[in-house]
Chains A and B, each alone.
Chain A
């Protein structure tokens, strides 16, 4: 009888709604805020969880969750998490649209990565340094991205999988003031994901 009661209570105490903070794949722990009409809770320690009965009841105070409980509930979701993106940086010779020799030599490795990750998407994002005006640099960034897309296509990558974009001079690899020529900021980022 006691045993039976035990089974019943464990079945019905299972949290209906639960939010668990976990470290990101790099091991870093941030925080989550759980809020509804009843109140708000902040979780800032890994493997601590908040339960919520309904939209009007305040979220519970964060409590630790066992690894076993996490596995029981979330194994399926965790096991299909996509792999992290792989990034490559290709640099251009001064002023133009030609790759440096070192960057040119990286192409086989990039192709191998794409093949291995298929089906995947390839984002090609053009960047410039801060020399000249922002609008022109946005266009130059896009031109660089399109050039790389063309190269990938000639090497056999289906263009359906390739998306191009430009961040212009807004995402510098080496921070500089405006109007500075900086070879390390003239690049295209390839993200395979």
Chain B
């Protein structure tokens, strides 16, 4: 019996996905990654690759020749050109409880934003912050260019 419990614990611990899934629900993933890019997750630095799942508070960074796309589970899409940096500050998509929110913070670079279900259900909850202005959207697509701070 004891051996069986130990075995189960090992199986459980050896699959970080299972543990992480509890507190860190999947919110989206990387697509069409080109050149150099990474995800800053707390102290971790992950090399950007197609299919990597992203989490709340991840910071997505592209290098000089880098570009990457992100699709969120509500269908919101954002893609970054070279030398760009964006943080996923808030992401809330709980239609069963009618809770919505999306805040992205772009420090610099170029981005293409295409609204998804959050923007449709609660457009006023979508905010795109930059050092020079805040962009609000009403169910649409837009392009943003933000100069790096000198």
Contact = CB atoms under 8 A, between A and B. Distances in A.
A77 B50 contact: no
B42 interface: no
Contacts of A22: 140-143
Interface string A28-48: 111111111000000000000
Contacts of B110: 73-74, 76-77
Interface residues of A, number: 55
Contacts of B147: 16-17
Main secondary structure of the interface of B (DSSP, over half): strand
Given A17-B146, A85-B71, A168-B96, A121 B137 contact: no
Contact of A35 (B68, B133, B143): B133
Interface in A19-76: 19-25, 28-36, 52-55, 59, 70, 73-76
Interface in B10-43: 17, 25-26, 28-29, 31-34
Given A33-B136, A76-B81, A19 B144 contact: yes
Interface residues on B, range: 35 or more
A93 B19 CA distance: 34
A79 interface: yes
A10 interface: no
A80 B31 contact: yes
Interface of B: 17, 25-26, 28-29, 31-34, 50-51, 53, 67-71, 73, 75, 77, 79-82, 84, 95-96, 98, 110-112, 114-115, 130-147
Interface of A: 15-25, 28-36, 52-55, 59, 70, 73-85, 118-121, 123, 138, 160, 163, 165-168, 170-171, 191, 193
27 contacts: A17-B133, A20-B142, A20-B143, A22-B140, A30-B140, A31-B140, A32-B136, A33-B137, A55-B131, A73-B143, A73-B145, A74-B110, A74-B145, A77-B67, A77-B84, A80-B69, A81-B32, A81-B69, A82-B71, A119-B51, A121-B53, A121-B71, A121-B73, A138-B96, A163-B25, A163-B26, A170-B96
